[in-house]
């Protein structure tokens, strides 16, 4: 009967003692702001992953289970690109102390690493779509789940074959070089590293560019039109094949960019794709199927909640996003935002 008692104790823990203590710790102003900022950063990286997944789902009608592995692939490619660009033999070595010109130039190099990674991912995504996914559009959705899962398995093993099974971290020197730049220290939250600020700003820029692309450019509007009514778009002269390839490549681009960001922040490691994939699903369910706005809101909710839970009670950190998802399913089964297409 011990388990019964232990379960009682742990629910008692949730109701009074430990949980409330955790909430109290979280609500101290400094901790609260710091964890929220960290969560925002995590949420924005998650948004980059989930946005690709949600756009692919909305337009190709394919639930790409390999998307998490594309993100992991991006992180590993970024580790190689960083190896070429950073260091005394590359473009520039990380500055050892804060220097307004050199430090920001180094941030530029890191962003360049992410951009090159994402550009490498572009043709990879296009080839995967044209060779593997295209032949099964007109078949039962069951097969695309099998197919994308097969791609997931193959990429997962390829990653370990090429880069080994140990995590590859960004060098301490380059992380330190960014952290030397004063950002959060200026407003009194010295515990948050400046890397977080860099990732928040860069991800916000990419996100903004994405919204601009879908609402202001011709190609973006074509993609949205295809999402709303594929047949009509085809009748008006849009090639669905090219649109699909473009969308899948775009999704890979975003996943690669997110992977590079994650590599710079912590490391690239096997298995990182799986959890990212599942969290992206939560983001999609919370935000609404195929909705880009929903992906932003959902990702930030999930990211911040995860970081709050680290303070409140780390045991529930992984379960918390799913609890939110269940809540959303109960209250608003279609997600916070409706179907995408008519609005970005």
Facing residues of 267 across strands? 169
Q: Using CB under 8 A, which residues numbered 51 to 90 contact another protein? A: 57, 61-63
Q: Which residues lie below 8 Å from residue 39, measured CB to CB, with a gap of 6+?
A: 300, 303, 304, 305, 306, 307, 308
**Does 132 participate in binding another protein (rule CB under 8 A)?**
yes
Shortest Å distance, C-beta 130 to another protein: 4
Name residue, tokens 């560019």.
209
Stretch that binds another protein, among 3-11, 39-47, 175-183, 224-232 (CB under 8 A): 3-11
Q: Using CB under 8 A, which residues numbered 160 to 219 contact another protein? A: 160-165
Shortest Å distance, C-beta 60 to another protein: 11
Q: Are 300 and 42 in contact (CB under 8 A)?
A: no
Residue from 119, 153, 232, 236 touching another protein (CB under 8 A): that is: 153
Query: Of 88 and 131, which CB lies nearer to another protein in the complex structure?
Result: 131
Distance CA 107, CA 338 (A): 37
Distance CA 65, CA 54 (A): 12
Query: Of 15 and 162, which CB lies nearer to another protein in the complex structure?
Result: 162
Residue from 84, 137, 315, 343 touching another protein (CB under 8 A): that is: 315
**Does 131 participate in binding another protein (rule CB under 8 A)?**
yes
Distance CA 17, CA 10 (A): 10
**Does 119 participate in binding another protein (rule CB under 8 A)?**
no
Q: Which residues lie below 8 Å from residue 90, measured CB to CB, with a gap of 6+?
A: 83, 84
**Does 17 participate in binding another protein (rule CB under 8 A)?**
no
Query: Of 311 and 325, which CB lies nearer to another protein in the complex structure?
Result: 325
Q: Which residues lie below 8 Å from residue 72, measured CB to CB, with a gap of 6+?
A: 155, 156, 159, 259, 268, 270, 271, 272, 273, 276
Q: Are 292 and 92 in contact (CB under 8 A)?
A: no
What residues make contact with another protein under the rule CB under 8 A? 1-4, 6-7, 10, 57, 61-63, 123, 126-127, 130-132, 135-136, 139-143, 145-147, 149-154, 156-158, 160-165, 242, 245, 274, 278, 281-282, 284-285, 289, 315-319, 322-323, 325-326, 329-330, 333
């Amino acid at each position: 009967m011990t388990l019964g008692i232990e379960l009682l104790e742990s629910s008692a823990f949730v109701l009074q003692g430990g949980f409330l203590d955790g909430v109290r710790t979280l609500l101290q102003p400094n901790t609260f702001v710091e964890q929220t900022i960290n969560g925002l950063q995590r949420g924005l990286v998650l948004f980059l992953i989930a946005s690709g997944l949600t756009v692919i789902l909305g337009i190709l009608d394919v639930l790409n289970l390999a998307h998490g592995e594309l993100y992991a692939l991006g992180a590993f490619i970024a580790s190689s690109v960083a190896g070429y660009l950073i260091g005394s033999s590359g473009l520039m070595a990380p500055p050892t102390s804060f220097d307004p010109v050199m430090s920001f130039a180094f941030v530029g190099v890191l962003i360049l690493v992410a951009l090159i990674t994402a550009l490498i991912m572009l043709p990879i995504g296009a080839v995967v779509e044209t060779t593997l996914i295209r032949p099964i559009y007109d078949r039962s959705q069951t097969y695309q789940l099998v197919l994308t899962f097969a791609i997931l398995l193959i990429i997962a093993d390829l990653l370990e074959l090429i880069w080994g099974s140990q995590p590859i971290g960004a060098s301490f020197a380059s992380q330190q070089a960014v952290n030397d730049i004063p950002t959060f220290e200026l407003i009194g939250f010295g515990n948050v590293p400046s890397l977080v600020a860099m990732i928040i700003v860069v991800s916000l820029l990419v996100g903004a560019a994405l919204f601009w692309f879908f609402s202001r450019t011709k190609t973006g509007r074509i993609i949205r039109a295809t999402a709303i009514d594929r047949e009509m778009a085809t009748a008006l002269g849009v090639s669905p094949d090219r649109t699909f390839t473009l969308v899948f490549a775009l999704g890979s681009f975003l996943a690669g960019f997110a992977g590079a960001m994650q590599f710079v922040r912590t490391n690239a490691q096997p298995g990182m794709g799986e959890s990212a994939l599942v969290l992206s699903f939560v983001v999609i369910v919370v935000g609404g199927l195929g909705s880009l706005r929903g992906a932003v809101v959902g990702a930030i909710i999930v990211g911040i909640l995860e970081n709050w839970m680290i303070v409140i009670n780390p045991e529930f950190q992984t379960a918390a996003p799913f609890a939110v998802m269940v809540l959303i399913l109960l209250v608003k089964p279609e997600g916070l935002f409706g179907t995408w297409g008519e609005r970005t």
